[in-house]
Structure 1
């Protein structure tokens, strides 16, 4: 059975905390979204990042999205207590395009992100 549109909107609102943090260069919004034990996986300028979501917070707090930054949220799936969100980012820090996948669980009635995996578009990798 498909979830009602209201649930998709709740997932999108949760993911907006991620986008707001990236845009503003302030991890406080994302800290409301991610669980304390959330994990991160991806390659940033060719170097593998993996482990604690704290690495994401450090990255966000050191670089804001910038003037030309754009983001789009796509709610890919919502299945009762599980959701998958894709976030497209263009121009983070003035140069990097990302595709992020966020895995969310509905915990105590609230959508929380437990994992973030991302791809840096190859034409934005600094060697």
Structure 2
């Protein structure tokens, strides 16, 4: 039997988790520049707001974070759902974002020029106090 290399290296898993953690830290600190560094410039985002409207612009995340500031009490759990050689899907569960909002984020990542970048984010929000958030 021929010996083959495992393309799913531990270093890649750690790099993917690191990108997801930088994303969470950006939300926690309200640091938009930190959030931006995790996304590919052509990245996309989609999710439904409390009024039922679909949000599809990544800029919404950056603007919302800038306007609402840090979420110091945020709690997170990060799981890699699947990883291939140049693509990965990561689940990020968040509690205690601004105003007590929670979120389930599915981050699709691609390995681009040796760096893992979030290419898309699909999310589900758990709104606690909609008067405060929109």
The TM-score by the shorter chain falls in which range? 0.7 to 0.9
Distance 1:49 1:29, change over 3 A: farther
Higher strand share: 1
Aligned pairs (5 A) from 1:44-83: 44-83=49-88
The answer as to whether partners of 2:78 and 2:93 remain within 8 angstroms in 1 is yes
Aligned to 2:130: 126
**What CA RMSD, in Å, does the superposition of the two structures yield over aligned residues?**
1.9
Which structure has the greater CA radius of gyration?
2
Check if 1:96 corresponds to 2:101: yes
TM-score normalised to the size of structure 2? 0.84
Instruction: Give the drift of 1:8.
Output: 0.8
Query: What is the number of equivalent residue pairs in this alignment?
Result: 126
The answer as to whether partners of 2:28 and 2:73 remain within 8 angstroms in 1 is no
Distance 1:66 1:52, change over 3 A: closer
Instruction: Give the drift of 1:67.
Output: 3.8
The answer as to whether partners of 2:105 and 2:123 remain within 8 angstroms in 1 is yes
TM-score normalised to the size of structure 1? 0.88
Post-superposition, which runs of at least 4 consecutive aligned residues in structure 1 deviate over 6 A? none
Instruction: Give the drift of 1:73.
Output: 1.2
